[in-house]
């Protein structure tokens, strides 16, 4: 089976490699369109758009996939949410500071939606699921927030922090899958692949 990851994220590449499978990367160029409002439905919708776009691209480029070959495309999308409100990447340093003040001393959620598009013998099965991890932050002082923003790390991260980087010092605890917060729920993905009899 050929496995394709529909993501440019280096963190997702590392996490998928932890499953011990060989895969290639084809980045989706689809224009994301969100019609859902609930965080878990948003990530499911976006992951499905990415996986579907890459599958269509591969089938168009190489007709062999309509034969007997097996093809699995994995799409994923991750968001940070607080009290049902989705926190994207901050627009600037001031926006990052607002997000960090919001998260300080509180609990928020990280959702990752994953879509599996399995194409075999001319037929495609699509399966979408999501994981949610609760993340608890320590209270952050103004000085800590200013310092963290000065590192530049929060500016390209959803929710204005990276748990795998300097932002880890502010995380008091998590409930759920750590890898889900990084960008791909590895254990959950493996269980879904087993259930679907793909791996």
Residues marked as catalytic: 77
Query: Long-range contacts for 87-96 (Cβ within 8 Å, ≥24 apart)?
Result: 87/158, 87/159, 87/160, 88/158, 89/155, 89/156, 89/157, 89/158, 89/160, 90/154, 90/155, 90/160, 92/155, 93/149, 93/155, 95/160, 96/149, 96/154, 96/155, 96/160
Question: Residue 117's beta-bridge partner residues?
Answer: 73, 126
DSSP states of 66-77 as a string? Answer: GTT-EEEEEEEE
Of 94, 93, 81, 84, residue with least CA distance to 135: 81
Q: Is the dihedral of CA 184, 188, 194, 196 positive or negative?
A: negative
Determine which helix (DSSP H) or strand (DSSP E) holds 82, and give its type and residue range: strand 70-82
Q: Note the maximum CA span of the chain.
A: 60
- Counting DSSP H helices and E strands in the chain, the numbers are 6, 7
């Amino acid at each position: 089976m050929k496995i394709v990851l529909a993501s440019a994220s280096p963190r997702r590449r590392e996490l998928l490699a932890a499953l011990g499978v060989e895969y290639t990367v084809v980045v989706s160029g689809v224009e994301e369109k969100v019609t859902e409002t609930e965080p878990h439905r948003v990530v499911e919708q976006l992951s499905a758009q990415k996986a579907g776009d890459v599958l269509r691209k591969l089938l168009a480029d190489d007709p062999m996939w309509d034969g007997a070959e097996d093809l699995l495309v994995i799409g994923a999308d991750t968001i940070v949410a607080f009290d049902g409100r989705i926190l994207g990447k901050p627009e600037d340093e001031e926006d990052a500071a607002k997000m960090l003040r919001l998260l300080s001393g509180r609990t928020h959620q990280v959702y990752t939606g994953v879509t599996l598009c399995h194409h075999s013998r001319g037929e495609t099965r699509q399966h979408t699921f999501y994981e949610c991890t609760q993340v608890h932050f320590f209270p952050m002082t103004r000085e800590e927030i200013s310092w963290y923003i000065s590192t530049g790390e929060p500016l390209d991260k959803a929710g204005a922090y990276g748990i795998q980087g300097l932002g880890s010092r502010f995380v008091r605890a998590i409930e759920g899958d750590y890898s889900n917060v990084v960008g791909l729920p590895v254990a959950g993905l493996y269980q879904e692949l087993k259930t679907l009899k793909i791996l």
